[in-house]
Structure formats: C-alpha cells, structure tokens
Amino acid sequence: MKQILVFILFATLLCWFMFAPVYKHIIIVRQAVLQKEVDYLLEVGANGSHGYINAAMIAESRERMAERGFLVDELAYTVATNSGVGGMDANAPVWRGTGLRLTITYPYQRLFVIDQLVGISVPLASDRMGATGMKMSEYVP
C-alpha cells in the first residue's frame, strides 16, 4: 500500500515538474500579448487625429485577440482619462496633454490546476490577469 502511495505522489510530482514550465510560459505570453494590445490601442487612440478609443477600435482589438487564441467574451476593456472626461466618444476627443488610460483584463481560467494538486495556493477562478497603460493625448482640433 505504501508503495502505491509513493508511486502516486512521485508521478504527481514528476508531472508537475514536467508541465509547470509549459503553462507558466502560457501565462507569460498571454500577459505580453495583452500589454502589446494595450500599447497599440493607446498609440492609435492617443495620436493627433483621434484622441479617443471607441467601440469600433475595441471590436477590431477583439478580432486581433481572437486570432491569438483569446476568448473574445472573456476580454474586458476599460477606457478612462485622468481628467474624468470620457475617452470613448469620437465627437468629444480628449485634448492634448490629457492622459488616456486603457486596461484590458482576461481570466486565468484553469491554468493553475496542477499547482493546486500539489498543494500550492492558486488564484481564484474569478481572478483576472490584466495589462494597463496610459498615454498623453496628442489630439489638437
């Protein structure tokens, strides 16, 4: 009986050591893709001819993220400014010198199940990874 228990524990640890680097790379890549998308949207949205990030830009972003394997329904976008005005209205763009802030979040899903089997505390199912960026608007009417 002890031998079976030792075998099961050894097999579990072996699987954890083999697969832990793989799923941690998935987390790193997802985080990097989220940050790259935030940076891109801010670069386009805060340029001299826009001054906003509207729903059409977010829809295009969702398409790009779907191409990279993200579930579109799980992505959450938050657009804000440091002055309190809305940053999503094309009719009222953010003027030069006002910060345009974008946050994109995505759930961890079940990436930490192996850690949980070994006994390591893991993020809750409701926790989300995210990327945030802020860029000063360059829009001048």
Q: List the structure tokens of 30.
A: 């997802």
E-assigned strand segments in 12-98: 76-81
Asked if residue 76 lies in contact with residue 129, where contact means CB atoms within 8 angstroms, the answer is: no
Q: Give the pLDDT of the chain (141 residues) as one tens digit per residue.
A: 788 888 888 888 787 777 766 677 788 889 999 999 999 999 998 888 888 899 999 999 999 999 999 999 999 999 999 888 888 888 888 888 889 999 999 998 877 777 777 677 888 878 899 999 999 988 887
Torsion of CA 13, 17, 23, 29, to 10 degrees: 160
Task: Please list, in sequence order, all residues whose beta carbon lies within 8 angstroms of the beta carbon of residue 96, skipping any fewer than 6 positions away.
Answer: 51, 136, 137, 138, 139, 140
- The pLDDT, as a whole number, for residue 20 is 65
The tens digit of pLDDT for each residue in 5-28 reads: 888 888 887 877 777 666 777 888
Residues in the chain: 141
